[in-house]
Amino acid sequence: MNCPECDAKLKIPDDASVGEIVSCPDCGADFEIASKNGTTYELKHAEKVGEDWGE
Amino acid sequence: MPKVRILFDRVRLEEKMLEEKSIELGHDTKMIDAKTTNISTESKKGDFDFGDVVLERCVSYFRGLHFTACLEFLDIPVFNRLDVANNCGNKMLTSLLLKKHNVPTPKTYFSFSSESAEGVLEKVGYPLVIKPVIGSWGRGVILLKDRDTADAIIEVRELSDGPLDRIYYLQEAIKRPPRDIRAIAVGDQVVAAMYRVSSGGFKTNIALGGEPILCEITKELEDVCMSASKAVGGGILGIDLMEDEKNGLVVHEINNTVEFKGLARVAKKDIPKEMIEFAVRSSSR
């Protein structure tokens, strides 16, 4: 599928799962896989790193 | 067949490894997205498919903490427990518990206003390390070498004025080799440990470029880690230690949702397997 930001082709591995992040190689935008149905994906903008993120 | 659920908000390699291992072990395994799950005071355990045990693996500390509270409200066993997550997520609470339980830990000073923090710095002297009480990956951890650096950091904190910016956590700068130790404790054992060698600065976090090198699990390391684990309530923990030139191993932080992808490649034990088996074993007691 194509990047919702810049329309570049996104490479999503076959074993990618919901909740994983994919990055656009062209514009650098990060997307989270919101849902997956076979090889059809729904993407949403990934959350920005928060102050409380970590281990 | 035990039902294992892995709570996430962002799937990292660790969460995939846990999911794969749980399936491999024959458990009914599902991933639960914390961002799309709603719980209320009217909710009942049967309204959800939270299984027999949940591994809380959110990258957002507060999201994971609050979700854990909801899971415990529903009587779902969760690792780590709410009290453990709370104890480890806040560095001040961790330091107080470590000291209270006689676990070797650096001297740490707590102030509740900028003026008071300045007083500690003048009295104790430089250098001291300032850390945000909540935060990870080494962010906001700064070596205060002199008055000018301290003044700048305190001024920035006053300008940002977040609720936790008024809590000053100042820790002695331990004289140590340019590395620290990350040990992964699961239940009553240390399953793996590594040195994290600084890439140049005083911080050793892998997230900041620190180099991981496998570390032997000595009896001293095991003993100190088990005391530290007990002090915060036990569970699945990432324990950070320094090799103090004077006092041997000291524990400075404990992580509640430990990252392990680097260590898993070189560790002798199967880290995700140890975690899953511990969670299943503990929840069935």
Which structure tokens are listed for B70?
A: 């909801």
pLDDT number for residue B205: 82
pLDDT band for B5, please (50, 70, 90 cuts). Answer: very high
- Measured between CB atoms, does A13 come within 8 Å of chain B? no
A50-54, B27-31, B101-105, B197-201: which range is least confident on average?
Answer: B197-201
Q: Is the residue at A55 inside a domain?
A: no
When divided into structural domains, chain A yields a total of 1
List, by residue range, all CATH 3.30.1490.20 domains of chain B. Answer: 108-172
Instruction: Say if the Cβ atoms of A53 and B257 lie within 8 Å.
Output: no
pLDDT at B210: 79
Outline which parts of chain B fall under CATH 3.30.470.20: 175-256
What is the amino acid identity at position B108? T
Write down the ipTM of this complex. Answer: 0.85
A vs B: CB pairs below 8 A: 56
- CATH number at A11 reads 2.20.28.160
From chain B, the residues in CB contact with A54 under 8 A are 59, 61, 135-137, 139, 255
pLDDT at B59: 96
Whether B92 and chain A come into contact, CB under 8 Å, resolves to no
Mean pLDDT of chain B: 95
Average pLDDT, integer, range B244-249: 95
The CATH number of the structural domain formed by B3-86 is: 3.40.50.20
Which fold does the domain B175-256 belong to in CATH?
Answer: D-amino Acid Aminotransferase; Chain A, domain 1 (3.30.470)
Across B216-251, b (16+ Cβ under 10 Å) vs e yields ebeeebbebbbbbbebbbbbbbbbbbbbbeeeebbb
> For residue B209, is pLDDT > 80?
no
pLDDT in tens, B53-100: 999 999 999 999 999 999 999 999 999 999 999 999 999 999 999 999
The two structure tokens encoding residue B130 = 């300032």
Distance of CA A55 to the CA centre of its chain: 22
Residue B211 has pLDDT above 90, yes or no: no
Q: CA of A4, closest CA in chain B: separation in Å?
A: 20
A54 inside domain: no
Fold of B108-172: Dna Ligase; domain 1 (3.30.1490)
pLDDT at B112: 97
Domain hosting A19: range is 1-48
Shortest Cα–Cα distance, A27 to chain B (Å): 21
Spatial contact of B75 and B82, defined as CB atoms under 8 Å apart: no
Does residue A36 belong to any structural domain of this protein? yes
Do B71 and B49 touch, CB atoms closer than 8 A? no
Identify whether A2 is part of a domain.
yes
What pLDDT is attached to residue B207? 75
pLDDT tens per residue across span B148-166 = 999 999 999 999 888 999 9
Looking at the domain assignment, is residue A21 inside a domain?
Answer: yes
Domain for residue A53, yes or no? Answer: no
Q: Is the pLDDT of residue B208 over 80?
A: no
Please tell me the distance from the alpha carbon of residue A15 to that of residue B80, in angstroms, as a whole number.
28
Residue ranges, comma separated, of all CATH 3.40.50.20 domains in chain B are 3-86
Which residues of chain A have a CB within 8 Å of the CB of B139? 51, 54
Average pLDDT over residues B5-9: 97
